[in-house]
Structure 1
Amino acid sequence: MVERALGAARSGVYWLEEAGAQPRYPTLSASTKSELTVVGGGYLGLWAAVHAKRRDPGLRVVLLEAETVGWAASGRNGGFCEASLTHGRENGQTRWPDEYDTLHKLGDQNLDAFEQDVSDLGLGCHWERTGTLAVAVEEHQVPWLQGAEHALDRDAVQSEIHSPLFLSGALDPTGCALLHPARLARELARVAAELGVEIHEHSAVVDIRTDKASNTVDVRTGSATVSSDKVILATNVFRSLLRRNRLMTVPVYDYVLVTEPLTQEQLASVGWSGRQGLTDLANQFHYSRLTRDNRILYGGYDAVYHPGRKVKDAYEDRPETFERLASHFFAVFPQLEDVRFSHRWAGAIDTCTQFTAFYGLTHRGRVAHAAGFTGLGVGATRFAANVLLDLLSGEPTPLTELKMVRERPLPFPPEPITSIGISLTRWALDRADHRQGHRNLFLRTLDAAGLGFDS
């Protein structure tokens, strides 16, 4: 069944293909000046550019992208736009107990403002405020959902989505929206350009340094330099231009399958009339959703780190992971045994030890950076862009005073310790998932040190 379902699946990102041809922006070919230079053409960089121009329409903003707008994580994620800024309630309450209520409120406000921007800016990104459904798929997970505001017993969860594996659930009706990742990136670029941002693709930045003679921060590509008053670094999973940040994140590969469009009969056999985002409660969890044309996107479980913090195209094709995902898909939805997959792909997630973005300033307060979103960056990057602009203003604001913004997480150790540690953690998490959730001494030690990890 798995072999047949994967037989015609092509290696390619469904979102990028569905969005079609995109506008191209010129390569930076001559040196220039800017008041703000943004490095990175993913969500964080694009939101920063848009926010900056909306705050000050006369500001000269240059955005430099190494490849094309939205080609990396911003164009190939699952399209879940969650309110959480802290990678979930438990992570936030553990790390920032005194300000979690504030962070939770800020997350809700950010998601509402995101939705307003979709309307005000005309962002054609297939926005759906559907919420999410979390499901228990093992008996030991059922108590974890008891007491949730919108808890669902077995019958109730089966009425939402039909699967023999779903034992109970909890519905969050407002805390998440679904969207089309690649279309969002392209629409943000369109809006940025209309606001006057100068976007340059295929303009990889190789160095950033202070020019004391001109009192500027020079951002250099292979062929030109932008002399900048201020800079935002939004390179996320890729090797940081700042030496101090090179041990702060590791690239972890996530894998995704997308089916062909379901027929009306197939869709009826699953239910899913609420079109919620779907996730299970395992450490090595799966996430799933419907696209606008009723394909099922199914991803997660394997979170693969390759030694040396490398990001390579070759890591994106991993047959054993796609076969595992397909087998899990048919366990969840056995009624779809005739469904075929049309696309398979992967992407690298910038993971840090606190599992949510960290922030900072360098070059005497003229260069701001953020990274480490750990897979929940679709909504959080909009918030982070405002944080970075506030930091560059030099004036304290409610955002810059947050402990989450002011403190740096622990770095990952150098190799080979990182590879050994991640391998041991994945092994221990797998054992926990198959031993009633029991976390062994190794995992409990990581938890106590603030280094707990899930997929």
Structure 2
Amino acid sequence: MINGEVSFWWNQLGRPTQRPPLPGALRADVCIVGAGYTGLWTAYYLKKAAPGLRIVILEQRFAGYGASGRNGGWLTNSITGGREQYVATHGRDSAARFQTAMNDTVDEVIRVAAAEGIDADIVKGGEFTVACDVPQQRRLEASARAEQEWAETDVELLTAAEASARVNVVGATGAMWHPHCARIHPAKLAAGLAGVVEALGVEIYEDTTVTEITPHRAVTARGVVAADVVVRATEGFTAGLRGLHRAWLPMNSSLIATAPLAPAVWESIGWDACETLGDMAHAYMYAQRTADDRIAIGGRGVPYRFGSRTDSDGHTPAGTVDALRGILNRFFPATTGVTIDHAWSGVLGVPRDWA
């Protein structure tokens, strides 16, 4: 089993040839710090709207090195922290428009990937959340009722038989599903976006660590980039910037990927529509069926590191690997004994108010 080395996704795709670092001080219209999804999508839409802008992206390692190239491959419509906090601050109509915008974003990513020729193994199978005992079933039903109060969510509640017919999770008591989610290959999307924005004229400088962001300046050991606008797209690595150590919470998550499963195993599991799979346990899991017929399954391994420290190489403790393997085998007994090809971890950025 490979442990770490950034992620299974990058090992499968192959590490990109590293782009040159920042050659020295320069001036730009927009400087984006961080070449993950946030930074790359920002560059894409800015360049499409105003092709004449000089846009510079600074990245400490390589584009997609962080959470964008390590995640579970869910392109979904979730509103972090829930809609209710936005109802309290902005009203129900605004929260409903927010949800509609999140739904539309899933289709927009799919549209851009197709238009720009990015093959990211995208299948829009929806999001499937299963319950496996009585307390989980109660939470599932309550969650489904709450979601169905919003016309924009399109959530369906499934019986145990209906759930098992779609994804045969052993012991499932029910499930809920909505259509606004797609499976993706995270590294393929990140690499594809980086290539597209570069072709549009965006400058990406890798191996360039930004140590501080001040008004109109991004400071690095290789020089200072001055810009009319500096976009901080550092997500889970924000804690490493001077003065921002406590601004965002770096939360770690871990995954494993199996070897490709035999057709007989898939026959027992189903999962033909490639839904993303989650559950109603408090220590939740998330999974996908990959394009090459593996299962990639994740959860919170060691979620917080003392002093807001962040993971680097993706190495995952043996206990976390065993726990994820246990969930996999419990859900799908036919996977017992299947080889785990890769384990990895990564850090994501969480607002401390979850908004």
TM-score of the pair, normalised by structure 1: 0.71
Distance 1:295 1:87, change over 3 A: farther
Secondary structure class of the residue paired with 1:305 = coil
Determine if contact 1:284/1:302 at 8 Å carries over to the other structure. no
Determine if contact 1:64/1:205 at 8 Å carries over to the other structure. yes
Secondary structure class of the residue paired with 1:267 = helix
Partner of 1:75: 69
Secondary structure class of the residue paired with 1:250 = strand
Q: Figure out how many residues of one structure are paired with residues of the other and give that number.
A: 341
Q: Which runs of 5+ in 1 are unaligned?
A: 1-7, 211-216, 357-455
Aligned equivalents of 2:219, 2:247: Cα separation in 1: 23
Following superposition, the deviation at residue 265 of structure 1 comes to 0.8
* Counterpart residue identity of residue 200, structure 2: L
Cα deviation 1:391-431 (Å, max 9, x = unaligned): xxxxxxxxxxxxxxxxxxxxxxxxxxxxxxxxxxxxxxxxx
Q: Which runs of 5+ in 2 are unaligned?
A: 149-154
* Counterpart residue identity of residue 175, structure 1: H
Secondary structure class of the residue paired with 1:324 = helix
- Aligned CA RMSD, in angstroms, stands at 2.0
Secondary structure class of the residue paired with 1:199 = strand
Pairing partner for 1:157 from 163, 182, 187:
163
> Once structures 1 and 2 are overlaid, which stretch shifts more, 154-163 or 313-322?
313-322
* Counterpart residue identity of residue 154, structure 1: A
Partner of 2:95: 100
Aligned equivalents of 2:326, 2:200: Cα separation in 1: 47
Partner of 2:193: 188
Aligned equivalents of 2:37, 2:339: Cα separation in 1: 31
Larger radius of gyration: 1
* Counterpart residue identity of residue 199, structure 1: I
Partner of 2:316: 317
Determine if contact 1:86/1:92 at 8 Å carries over to the other structure. no
> Once structures 1 and 2 are overlaid, which stretch shifts more, 78-87 or 274-283?
78-87
Pairing partner for 1:17 from 11, 26, 32:
11
Partner of 2:130: 135
Between 1 and 2, higher relative CO (CA 8 Å, sep ≥ 6) is seen in 2
* Counterpart residue identity of residue 198, structure 1: E
Determine if contact 1:43/1:185 at 8 Å carries over to the other structure. yes
Aligned equivalents of 1:315, 1:142: Cα separation in 2: 34
Following superposition, the deviation at residue 41 of structure 1 comes to 0.8
Identity %: 28
Secondary structure class of the residue paired with 2:19 = coil
Aligned equivalents of 1:131, 1:27: Cα separation in 2: 40
Distance 1:275 1:91, change over 3 A: farther
Determine if contact 2:37/2:64 at 8 Å carries over to the other structure. yes
Partner of 2:151: none
Aligned equivalents of 1:177, 1:254: Cα separation in 2: 20
Distance 1:181 1:51, change over 3 A: same
Pairing partner for 1:169 from 155, 161, 175:
175
Aligned equivalents of 1:83, 1:272: Cα separation in 2: 21
Question: Is 1:340 the counterpart of 2:339 in the alignment?
Answer: yes
Distance 1:247 1:96, change over 3 A: farther
Aligned equivalents of 2:133, 2:110: Cα separation in 1: 35
* Counterpart residue identity of residue 324, structure 2: L
Taking the TM superposition and a 5 Å limit, the aligned residue runs for 1:296-311 are 296-311=295-310
Taking the TM superposition and a 5 Å limit, the aligned residue runs for 1:408-419 are none
Aligned equivalents of 1:63, 1:101: Cα separation in 2: 33
Aligned equivalents of 1:308, 1:114: Cα separation in 2: 35
Following superposition, the deviation at residue 247 of structure 1 comes to 2.1
Distance 1:141 1:21, change over 3 A: closer
Partner of 2:28: 34
Aligned equivalents of 2:209, 2:313: Cα separation in 1: 21
Determine if contact 2:183/2:276 at 8 Å carries over to the other structure. yes
Aligned equivalents of 1:188, 1:227: Cα separation in 2: 24
Aligned equivalents of 2:348, 2:24: Cα separation in 1: 33
* Counterpart residue identity of residue 241, structure 1: L
Partner of 1:350: 349
TM-score of the pair, normalised by structure 2: 0.90
Moved over 4 A (4+): 87-97
Following superposition, the deviation at residue 93 of structure 1 comes to 5.3
Partner of 1:262: 261
Aligned equivalents of 1:349, 1:18: Cα separation in 2: 21
Question: Is 1:125 the counterpart of 2:120 in the alignment?
Answer: yes
> Once structures 1 and 2 are overlaid, which stretch shifts more, 26-35 or 256-265?
26-35
Following superposition, the deviation at residue 29 of structure 1 comes to 1.6
Secondary structure class of the residue paired with 2:301 = strand
> Once structures 1 and 2 are overlaid, which stretch shifts more, 256-265 or 90-99?
90-99
Question: Is 1:281 the counterpart of 2:245 in the alignment?
Answer: no
Following superposition, the deviation at residue 302 of structure 1 comes to 3.4
Secondary structure class of the residue paired with 2:98 = helix
